Amino acid sequence: MPRFLTAALYKFVELPDFAALQSPLLALCEAQGVKGTLLLASEGINGTIAGPESGVRAVLAWLRSDQRLAQLEHKESWTDVQAFYRMKVRLKKEIVTMGVPEVHPALMAGQYVLPAHWNALVSSPDVVLVDTRNSYEVKIGTFEGAINPDTRTFTELPGWVEREMLEGGKLASVNGKKPRVAMFCTGGIRCEKSTALLRSRGFEEVYHLEGGILKYLETVPESQSLWQGECFLFDERVSVGHALAPGTLSLCRSCRNPVSDDDKKSPLFELGVSCPHCHAQTTATQKAGYRERQKQTLLARVRQQGHIGVKQSSSDETKKTDG
């Protein structure tokens, strides 16, 4: 079975002409057999792609040929199946949506902390450790002692920060001094923007995990790890554990939430249609549509035909995607 290279990448950098990059980038990816999602905005680039090694490396080389992206870094992993169904290059206001225009991560982000030094930092009693991801991600795994802001989307994090800065809050000043704060996320992008948010609010000692949870799981031995559980991913791998080993979760095709073995035992779970997280949120008509989609997907698989993998259309370009 062929092996596919997956590359997760992002960079905060000024790209005022980002819209002009969309068409040539999409054409290159499709020509190289590369699939996934890339987001372009004036503040930079973000996304994950997968495909044959030669194709993925050709796309990375093309991006780095732009001097502004010459230092673009990426994280690699290998799978025996393609992690995505189609290729999309989308234009966005932000490469990860926070909704606070005065925050500029390229200029204001906190201090990077290498995975090898992370344990020592977050074990310090005067450091407030914050998981910047959404609640369904935190539920399946997080660092020992981390605060869960219990957000549904990243746009809710600024409101949580404002509330917790008030007297008695987890980010409140003590004797006139703001606390030291360490933040983390899956690959580094959300915590980079989160630390920039805190710095814009007057926090001076703010840190974030360089390379995110994925780099930590890849490089820190499990015997020394403070990570508990699995790390959710926004692709067909769904989750990974230490050493980036495949996780135990699957994906609900209706709400895109992770589904555990216990979830699958629930009477509310129906493959391709619903899970305990979303069963009550979709109508009978929607469920009927999902059943038909699942039927066609299974038929296409039996016939070894593509069903979900369609090319991006012009109307597809600005739809919302997870960052």
- Annotated catalytic residues are 185
What's the DSSP call for residue 311? P
Give the distance, in angstroms, between the CA of residue 168 and the centroid of all CA atoms in the same chain.
31
For residue 28, what are its two tokens? 């290159």
Q: Which residues make Cβ contacts (< 8 Å) with residue 92, sequence separation at least 6?
A: 39, 40, 41, 318
The residues, any chain, with a CB within 8 Å of residue 254's CB and separated by 6 or more, are 272, 273, 274, 275, 278, 282, 286, 290
Question: Going edge to edge, which strands form the sheet with 111-113?
Answer: 111-113, 206-209, 180-184, 127-131
Tokens of 215: 């780099």
The answer to whether the beta carbons of residues 29 and 89 sit under 8 Å apart is: yes
Q: How far apart are CA 36 and CA 27, in angstroms?
A: 13
46 DSSP β-pair partners? 10, 39
Structure tokens at 99: 């909704």
Contact 264, 249 (CB under 8 A): no
∠ CA 249-323-138 to the nearest 5 degrees?
A: 45
Q: Is-contact 83 44, C-beta < 8 A? A: no
**Backbone φ/ψ region at 175: left (φ over 0), alpha (ψ -120 to 50), beta:** left
| CA 196 centroid distance within chain | 18
| Alpha carbon distance 321, 96 (integer Å) | 9
